[in-house]
Amino acid sequence: MAKCDLCHKIFASSKNLARHLDSHSGLGPYPCHKCDKTYMQKVSRTRHILTVHMNIRFKCDVCEKTFAQQGHLERHKAIHLANSPLKCKICDRLCPDRHRLKTHEYSHLAKGYYQCPDCDRSYSHANSLSYHVNTVHKNIRPHQCKKCQKGFGSSSHRSRHEKSCRRV
C-alpha cells in the first residue's frame, strides 16, 4: 500500500502511486481532441476516448452488466465466484482479494482524526493536515525550482519537477 503525500489518496502499489504522482508534476495536460476535457495523465485521456467517444464497454458474461474499464469488470466478477469475496468489517463492502480488502480497510483509517478547519478534508496524521493547510489554503510553497521559480510544498516534489523542467 502506498499513500500520496500531496492529496492523501491511497494506492494498492508503489507503481500505481508513481503513475499518480505524474498528475501533480505539471507535465500535462493532455487534451482530448474530440471534446474540451483535459487530463494530467496520458493513460486517463486514452481511457476517456475509449469509453466516451468510442463507447467501448466490458460485459460480464454472467449477468451482462457492463463496465467502462476491464479492471472494474474483473472486480465485479469476483461477486459471482463460488468462494465468496472478503467483506470489510467496518462497512460490509465486498472485496475480491485480501490485498484490495486491506487497501479498502485502510481507507477508513485515512478518514482521519485531524479535521481541516477550512474544508471537509481530514487526516490521520497531524503533519499531513499541516502540509495540506499550508499548501492548499495558505498557498505556502517554500521550495522553488531553480529554473522556473515554481513553488512546491516539499523538496521532494520540487526535485521531481526539476528533473523535467525545461526552462533555462
- Within-domain flag for 25: yes
Q: What is the pLDDT of residue 156?
A: 85
Q: What is the pLDDT of residue 35?
A: 92
Q: Which of 68, 89, 110 represents a domain boundary (last residue)?
A: 110
- Within-domain flag for 68: yes
At 109, the amino acid letter reads: L
Look up the CATH number of the domain holding residue 144. 3.30.160.60
Q: Let me know whether 49 and 88 are in one domain.
A: no
Q: What is the pLDDT of residue 26?
A: 58
Q: What are the residue ranges in the chain where pLDDT is below 70?
A: 23, 25-27, 62, 80-85, 109-113, 124-125, 168
Question: Exposure string (b/e) for 59-83, b if CB count within 10 Å is 16 or more?
Answer: eeeeeeeebbeeeebebbbbeeeee
| 143 and 153 Cβ atoms separated by less than 8 Å | yes
Q: Let me know whether 25 and 52 are in one domain.
A: yes
What is the model's pTM? 0.34
- Within-domain flag for 78: yes
Q: Let me know whether 127 and 93 are in one domain.
A: no
Pairwise CA distance, residues 99 & 124, whole Å: 21
- Within-domain flag for 5: no
Q: What is the pLDDT of residue 73?
A: 85
Q: Let me know whether 98 and 131 are in one domain.
A: no
Closest-CA residue to 134 (of 146, 118, 149, 120)? 118
Tell me: the pLDDT tens digits for 62-110? 677 888 888 888 888 777 665 556 777 777 777 777 787 777 777 776 5
- Within-domain flag for 38: yes
Q: Let me know whether 82 and 102 are in one domain.
A: yes
Q: Let me know whether 86 and 62 are in one domain.
A: yes
Which residues form the domain of 51?
A: 20-56
- Within-domain flag for 127: yes
Q: How far is CA 153 from CA 77, 114, 146, in A?
A: 41, 19, 15
Pairwise CA distance, residues 130 & 21, whole Å: 20
